[in-house]
Amino acid sequence: MSSEEMLKEIAAEVSICSRCDLCKGRTKAVPGEGSPHAKILFIGEGPGFHEDRQGRPFVGPSGQFLEELLKSIGLKRSDVFITNVVSAVHLRIVIHCQWRLTPATIISRGRSPL
């Protein structure tokens, strides 16, 4: 299975996941997005208000700041992979990225380090 197929499968799994109580309060699941060939992986704590409404990671004020930072080094959101660690399913994405996508850099964002 290719990296693209694996990420689509994980996104589909996350969108219907009900293994924990996080599903009860969400509007949309936020599985992650970006290049399956990314050399940089951003991992946040979990979706905030804006992310929950749009179903995309880092789209609120911190996402705008991230886009500015990426632009300053000649990158776009589509050049990196952005996800959150909030459940075992999201952890699968991290493991997948480490072994299939092989990012050169993993950047943890948020209050709690991984």
Decide: helix, strand or coil at residue 80. coil
pTM equals 0.76
Determine the Cα–Cα distance for residues 50 and 58; give it in Å rounded to an integer: 8
Three-state secondary structure readout of 52-77: HHHCCCCCCHHHHHHHHHHHHCCCCH
Reported as a single tens digit per residue, the pLDDT across 67-89 is: 999 999 999 999 999 988 764 33
Reported as a single tens digit per residue, the pLDDT across 12-71 is: 888 887 877 777 778 888 888 999 888 898 888 778 888 888 988 888 888 899 999 999
The third-level CATH classification (topology) of the domain covering 3-108 is Uracil-DNA Glycosylase, subunit E (3.40.470)
- Report yes or no: 73 and 86 within 8 Å, Cβ to Cβ: no
Determine the pLDDT at residue 76: 96
Q: In sequence order, what are the residues at sequence separation of 6 or more whose Cβ sits closer than 8 angstroms to the Cβ of residue 1?
A: 9
Break the chain into its structural domains and give their ranges.
3-108
